[in-house]
Amino acid sequence: MKKTLMWLAILAILGFSMMLTVKIPALGLAEADFCGSCHLMDEQVSSYLHSPHRNVANCGDCHDPHALVTGSAYAAYSGARDVYRVVTNSAPLEIRTTNLSKKILQENCMRCHGDLMGDIADTSHNGGDYCFHCHQEIVHER
Amino acid sequence: MKPDQVKKLLMISVSVLLIVLVAGIFFFNRNNKVVLEGPQGEIAANETSSQAWAKFYPAHWDSYQANYANTEKPSHFAAKPYLTAIYAGFGFAKEYNEPRAHVYTIEDILAIDPARKKAGASCFTCKSTQVPEMMQKYGEQYYLMSFDEIKEEFSEAIGCLDCHDPKTMELRLSRPALIEALQRQGRDVDKISQQEMRSLVCAQCHVTYYFQPGSKKITFPWDKGVKAEQILAYYDEMKFSEWTHPDAGSGMVKPRHAEYETFQDSTHESAGLSCADCHMPYTKVGSKKISSHVWQSPLNNIEQSCTTCHRNGSDWLTRRVETIQNQVKQTQDLAGEAVVEAINELKISQVAANVDQAKLKEAQELHRQAQWYLDFVVVTNGYGFHNPTETLNNLGIAIDLAHKSAQKAREARGLK
């Protein structure tokens, strides 16, 4: 009994630390090169590579939460979901941001551009529009 | 746990993990491809039977077969009752239905009202893959043959060969009227971009045309340009009319499904789009990607057609299109009533005593023009969506000319 618990604990710790590794920059799991290995992302990746953001931000900088634990958990979840959809050939024709993803994106816009928005504050408060409602195709198309 | 139990568990879990991993990689690689359906064998150079192409392009064939679901052909007269008055004296007044899908062309033309068969063999020109073959067989005589003389020779509806080269599957033009019209514009038909071909294959048929007096050869009236006013100027210059309106006495010209002409210079065309971009969007069949061969309103598959570019939701997009189409329909009805009023005034003036012939002639000329602009919109599918501003402009011109015609007709018989 004690041994089983120990094994479970070891597995849990192992799993948790493996999850955290997705945030290691050297692995490149948040880079366009990696995300673009699914052909579904071709349009997004090729237009991103022509945008000014390519010099300052990778996919994960906008699409994953910045914090280590929430960020890696979300990246692991959304990455696994996307791979599952390619493997089972069930990706939607029209790829749209989920509500959670919209909140994450907005937070990341504000993380870099918050100073600029100092006087205006976060436009999405009280049911307002997200930054990308207007600035839709600044980073990539679609 | 005993050591050999651990060993057993490890062996099972490792092998399960390995199988899942291998299967995952296999399916990932298989599905992570953009496979286009390419030629899988050779099709005869002039294979008119679309069925013979099916085994080489099964996904495209299935898509083409889906056209059979488009079975409605309501009469235009139900929504536009004024049409029987404006088409009086012409075959269209007897029967004018909305078309069913391409796959029904032969069936539907054989069932048409006899009043519509006067044009003869030419009627089949946009109904069958066998047309180029018949044109080769009969030469210029093809256009002069009667409807009943040639009808037995056609069995294949519009299909693969009309737009594709069987060897390379590249788009190609198979109808001489379009090729000749483009050549008269000074175009080299062998040097046309793929994107323009994605509209021009449609323009082989979805355009207005006339039968050349004498030879009855189908000709596109595009030498002055493809817009309503330019085509009317072309007809005016050659003093051409197709029939005389029995009530009004005016010499009439008849536009036909001018979708291609209307689309030119529209917002979407100026942005570089072709017909196929909205009407034949990419669609996924299994892990294959094909251009949809179900020809229909893009509103039926907004997720594939509109939202490729417009990220607004489908409901919002549908409302935008419906607003435009309802407004066009409303203005079109006003123009229809105005033209009918002109016809009614002309009808009275024609038989009135002491009528001013010069003014009557002027009123008839205005009626010819007004009806041309109205009809150019009526016959074009899409209720103006192919080019909303131009469509409303044409209808505005039609209303103005029709009012002027009615006024002149009244003046001709001494009224103010």
**In chain B, whose CA is at the least distance from the CA of A97?**
B311
Determine the pLDDT at residue B70.
92
Determine the pLDDT at residue A1.
79
On chain A, the residues whose CB falls within 8 A of the CB of B28 are 83, 86-87
Task: State the distance between the two ends of chain A, measured CA to CA, in whole angstroms.
Answer: 53
The alpha-carbon gap from B310 to the nearest alpha carbon of chain A, in Å, equals 9
On chain A, the residues whose CB falls within 8 A of the CB of B32 are 37-40, 86
Note the residue count of chain B. 416
On chain B, the residues whose CB falls within 8 A of the CB of A38 are 32
Judged by CB atoms closer than 8 Å, whether chains meet at B287 and A4 is answered as: no
Judged by CB atoms closer than 8 Å, whether chains meet at A94 and B34 is answered as: no
How far is Cα of residue B115 from the mean position of the Cα atoms in its chain? 22
A91 vs A75, higher pLDDT:
A75
Domain ranges of chain A: 2-134
Determine the pLDDT at residue B39.
67
Determine the pLDDT at residue A118.
80
Judged by CB atoms closer than 8 Å, whether chains meet at B31 and A142 is answered as: no
Judge contact between B104 and B157, C-beta under 8 A: yes
On chain A, the residues whose CB falls within 8 A of the CB of B307 are 94
Q: What is the pLDDT of residues B87-139, one digit of tens each?
A: 999 999 999 999 999 999 999 999 999 989 888 999 999 999 999 999 999 99
Q: Please check the confidence at residue B15 and state whether its pLDDT lies above 80.
A: yes
Determine the pLDDT at residue B366.
98
On chain B, the residues whose CB falls within 8 A of the CB of A93 are 283-284, 303-304
Task: Give the one of A3, A42, A93 whose C-beta lies nearest to B303's C-beta.
Answer: A93
* Pairs of residues, one from chain A and one from chain B, whose beta carbons lie less than 8 Å apart: 32
Determine the pLDDT at residue B119.
87
Determine the pLDDT at residue A96.
87
Of the candidate CATH numbers 1.10.150.120, 1.10.3820.10, 2.60.120.10, 3.40.50.10490, the domain formed by A2-134 belongs to 1.10.3820.10
A46 contacts chain B (CB < 8 A): no
What's the pTM value of the predicted model, to 2 decimals?
0.85
Q: Does the ipTM surpass 0.85?
A: no
Determine the pLDDT at residue A91.
87
The Cβ of residue B373 has, within 10 Å, a number of other Cβ atoms equal to 25
Judged by CB atoms closer than 8 Å, whether chains meet at A39 and B34 is answered as: yes
**Helices B388-412/B357-378 angle, 10° precision:** 160
Judged by CB atoms closer than 8 Å, whether chains meet at A38 and B32 is answered as: yes
Mean per-residue pLDDT for A37-49?
91
On chain B, the residues whose CB falls within 8 A of the CB of A139 are none
State the average pLDDT for chain A.
Answer: 91
Q: What is the pLDDT of residues B136-149, one digit of tens each?
A: 999 999 999 999 99
**In chain B, whose CA is at the least distance from the CA of A136?**
B311
A94 contacts chain B (CB < 8 A): yes
State the average pLDDT for chain B.
Answer: 94
Q: What is the pLDDT of residues B336-381, one digit of tens each?
A: 999 999 999 999 999 998 999 999 999 999 999 999 999 999 999 9
Vertex B288: Cα angle to B52 and B61 (nearest 5): 25
On chain B, the residues whose CB falls within 8 A of the CB of A83 are 24, 28
Specify the long-range contacts of residues B387-390, CB closer than 8 Å, at least 24 apart: B387/B262, B387/B263, B387/B264, B387/B265, B387/B266, B387/B267, B387/B269, B388/B266, B388/B324, B388/B328, B390/B227, B390/B262, B390/B265, B390/B266
Q: Please check the confidence at residue B1 and state whether its pLDDT lies above 80.
A: no
Q: What is the pLDDT of residues B43-95, one digit of tens each?
A: 888 899 999 999 889 999 999 999 999 999 999 999 999 999 999 999 999 99
Judged by CB atoms closer than 8 Å, whether chains meet at B311 and A142 is answered as: yes
